[in-house]
Chain A
Amino acid sequence: MVPRINRCIGVTTARTAVTPEMVRSALKSVVDPEYGTLSIVDLGIVDDVAVNDDRVSVTLLPTMAGCPAREVIESDVCTALQTQGLSDVEVLWRLDGSWVPSMLSPLAVDQLGREFSIAIRRDGVLPACPVCEQPSLREVSPVGPTRCRAVAWCDACRNVVEVVG
C-alpha cells in the first residue's frame, strides 16, 4: 500500500509544544463535506496522529478507497490545523480498505440515524429502521446516491433510508 501524501507547509507560529491530543481535538472541527454536523473524528476516519517537533502527520482512512471527498477533507484538515497555528502538516491516506462501520462513534451512529435516516448494518443483518425503529427494512438496491451505502425501504413507516455497511 502506497499512502497518498498531501503536505501543506506555512510559517510556524505555534509556540507551545504540540501534542497528538491537541491535534485530535483540532480535528473535531473538521466535518464531513456532505454531512456537516459529523466530525471526521466521530466518523472514525482518523487513523493516526503523529507529532515530530512541530511537524504533524495525520493518517486518514477513507470509508472507501475511491471516495470523491478525499481532496476536500485533506484540505479542510490542513486549514483546521493551520488555524490552530500548526503549520507543517502532512495528511496521508491509508488505502487498504480497513475502515469498517464499527469505527463510527456512538454519537455518529445516533446522528446518522436521527438526522439523516442512515442506518448501520452489523454482521450482515439489516438494522431496525432509523425512522420508526421497527425491524421492517427491506434492501432495494445495493447502492444509491453513493457507492458506500445501500438503499432500503421500510415497510412499516414507508420511508426510504440508506444503509452503511
Chain B
Amino acid sequence: MRAWADLDEFQEFLDDGGMVEADDDMPEEYRHEVFRFIEFHANSELMGGLTERDWIPHSPGLRLKQIFLAKTQDEIGHAHLLYMVAADMGIKTRDEMMSDLLAGKTRFHNVFHYRAETWADQIAIAFLVDAAAFASQRAVFAKCTYGPYKRILRRIVGEEGFHMRHGEEMLLKMASGSQVQRDLFQAALERWWWPAVQLFGPDSPPDDPLLNWYIKSERNEALRHAYVQKYVPLLQGYGFTVPDDGLRQDPDTGEWMMSEIDWAPLKATFSNAGPDSARRLANAVRNHAESAWFRESIGVSA
C-alpha cells in the first residue's frame, strides 16, 4: 500500500506516469471521481446491452442474430466487470449502484436515451455510436491511471473494436442495397448523428480533474473533432447526407466544421429526461424484477 502526503505529491506521482492500485491509500477526491466515472461506464454498458438484446428477435437472419447475441453478452459482461471494480472502491456496493440506476438517480450514456425505431437505427448505432464510444474508451485506456480499470479496459476496447467491424459490414450492405434500404439508413442517420456527436460531451472544463489525473487522455472537444473528421467523409463517400446544414470544410486546412451544437438534448439525458429515458428505465426495472429468481438461484443479489 502506498500513500501520498497531499494532492500535490499525488499529482507528481501521476505526472511521472504512476499507476494507482486498489490497495493504495489514494486521495478521496481521486477515489470519488474515478468511482463515478466507472459507475457511469458500467451503467452505460448495462443499458446498452439491454438495448442490443431487444433487437435479437428482430435481427434479419441467423448470422445477425448470432452477432447481436454475442454483442449483448459482451455489453452485459463488460458491465459485470466494471461493477466489480467500482464496488471494490468502497463507495457504493453493487446493489446500491443497481438500485440507483434503476431509480434514475445515476446517469448512463446519452445515446441510450433514444429509441431505435427500425433495423437501420441498429445499424446507425453499430456504425456511428459504437465508433464514438470506442473512440472515447480508447482515449481513456491510453493513459488511465487506475490499474484495475485500465486492465479491464484493455479487453473492453478490443471487443468494442470488433463490434465496429460488424457495424461497417452492416452499413456496407445498406449502402450497396436498394433505394429503400438507403432511404432507411438516411432516416436513421438523421436520428443518430447528433446523439453520436454529443456522446463525447460538451467541451472539457479548463481544469477537468479527469484530465489532470489522467483518467481521460484527451479533451472532449478534441475527440469529437477527430470523430467528425473521420465520419463526415466516410458517410458522404457512401452517398449519405450528414444532417447538418451548417457543415462546411475549411478551404485552407480541409477540416470539417460543424454548426454550433445544441446541448439541450444532451442535458435532458443527464436528468433521465431524454425522448426514450422513461421507457428504457422502466424496461430495465422490469428486467431486473423478472430475473430476480435467477439471481436468487445462484445466490447473488444484484
Contacts and interface: CB of A to CB of B under 8 A. Distances in A.
Interface of A: 33-36, 66, 68-69, 71-72, 115-118, 131, 140-141, 143-147, 151, 153, 157-162
Contacts of A151: 77, 80-81, 84
> By DSSP majority rule, is chain B's interface helix, strand, loop, or mixed?
helix
Contacts of A117: 151-152, 154-155
B74 interface: yes
Given A36-B161, A145-B74, A160-B84, A68 B155 contact: no
B221 interface: no
A76 B132 CA distance: 24
Chain B residues touching A, range: 20 to 34
B77 A143 contact: yes
B88 interface: yes
Contacts of A69: 162
Interface string B154-184: 1110110110010000000000000000000
Given A145-B76, A161-B151, 14 more contacts: A33-B162, A34-B155, A34-B158, A34-B159, A36-B161, A68-B67, A68-B70, A72-B162, A116-B158, A117-B154, A145-B73, A145-B156, A158-B23, A159-B151
Contacts of B80: 141, 144-145, 151
A35 to B, nearest CB: 5
A145 B159 contact: yes
B118 interface: no
Contacts of A141: 80
A152 to B, nearest CB: 10
B271 interface: no
Given A145-B78, A146-B77, A118 B66 contact: no
Contact of A68 (B66, B75, B148): B66
> By DSSP majority rule, is chain A's interface helix, strand, loop, or mixed?
loop
A146 B147 contact: no
B73 A35 contact: no
B81 A71 contact: no
B25 interface: no
Interface string B47-77: 0000000000000000100110110011111
Contacts of A161: 151
Given A68-B66, A158-B148, A159-B148, A36 B158 contact: yes
A72 B66 CA distance: 13
A116 to B, nearest CB: 6
B21 interface: yes
B155 A162 contact: yes
Contact of A34 (B22, B67, B162): B162
Given A117-B154, A143-B77, A157 B84 contact: no
B85 interface: yes
A144 B45 CA distance: 13
Contacts of B155: 34, 116-118, 145, 162
Closest 4 CB pairs of A and B: A145-B77, A158-B22, A68-B70, A144-B77
B22 A35 contact: no
Contacts of A72: 162, 165
A131 B74 contact: no
25 contacts: A34-B155, A34-B158, A34-B162, A36-B161, A66-B66, A71-B63, A72-B162, A117-B151, A117-B155, A131-B151, A143-B73, A144-B77, A144-B80, A144-B81, A145-B74, A145-B156, A146-B73, A146-B77, A147-B73, A157-B21, A157-B23, A158-B88, A159-B147, A159-B148, A160-B85
